[in-house]
Homo-oligomer: A and B are copies of this chain.
């Protein structure tokens, strides 16, 4: 393997070129398959080291690798006009719940939020490519369960869900345990009925006035 300062060897160059040219993040397996089953792990490590201090860096997001611009240059590169979809408070909350609790059913999301979640909210997140249907829970009713996608990790700059902010503390505090609080559930239960007509329950992905996001 080449030294940091010297010229990179052919495999490193090949991995570098492949990832530069790729239209989307690639798994190690995909890179390897593209390069004739070469062993690319070490080359990725070397590239990651090489790019560490540069304007572009090599990152791993959900087992997929891609180059992206260094975050400290955001102020220079940020494109105001192309701001990603603004999510409503409801949508960001649901997204966080899916990420921290995945896989999670809609009923479980609702139990945490204390309100019904409009179908549109999950649709918005799935359309953004951040949430996917991850099968069904094998319990009565076989509810659909949701999970995050590799695009979610890539978008929010996470190598894996383990890097979610504060997740270890939340888990230690028991705040990510399954919700099975029958008593309060019963107290809140009526809101599942009254919810549809209740004012202010704009779960449709549109932030209402007066709410700070």
A interface list, Cβ under 8 A from B: 4-5, 7-8, 12-18, 20-21, 34-35, 53-56, 67, 69-70, 73, 76-77, 79
> Cβ of B76 and Cβ of A7 under 8 Å apart?
no
Q: How many copies does the complex hold?
A: 2
**Whole-angstrom CA separation of A7 from B73 in the bound complex:** 15
CB-based nearest B residue for A52? B7
Instruction: Please name 26 pairs of A and B residues whose Cβ atoms are closer than 8 Å in the assembled complex, sorted by A.
Output: A7-B54, A8-B53, A8-B54, A13-B53, A13-B54, A13-B55, A13-B70, A13-B73, A14-B76, A15-B55, A16-B54, A16-B55, A16-B56, A17-B55, A17-B56, A17-B69, A17-B70, A17-B73, A18-B76, A20-B55, A20-B56, A20-B69, A21-B69, A21-B76, A21-B77, A35-B76
A116 CB to nearest B CB, Å: 40
**Whole-angstrom CA separation of A12 from B55 in the bound complex:** 8
Contacts of A55 in B (CB 8 A): 8, 12-18, 20
CB-based nearest B residue for A67? B20
> Cβ of A17 and Cβ of B76 under 8 Å apart?
yes
A-B contact sample (9 more), CB < 8 A, given A18-B76, A20-B56: A4-B5, A5-B5, A7-B53, A15-B55, A16-B54, A17-B55, A17-B56, A18-B55, A35-B76
Contacts of A7 in B (CB 8 A): 53-54
Contacts of A53 in B (CB 8 A): 7-8, 13
Contacts of A14 in B (CB 8 A): 55, 73, 76
**Whole-angstrom CA separation of A36 from B17 in the bound complex:** 30
Contacts of A77 in B (CB 8 A): 17-18, 21
**Whole-angstrom CA separation of A77 from B35 in the bound complex:** 9
Contacts of A34 in B (CB 8 A): 76, 79
A36 CB to nearest B CB, Å: 8
CB-based nearest B residue for A78? B21
**Whole-angstrom CA separation of A16 from B53 in the bound complex:** 12
Contacts of A8 in B (CB 8 A): 53-55
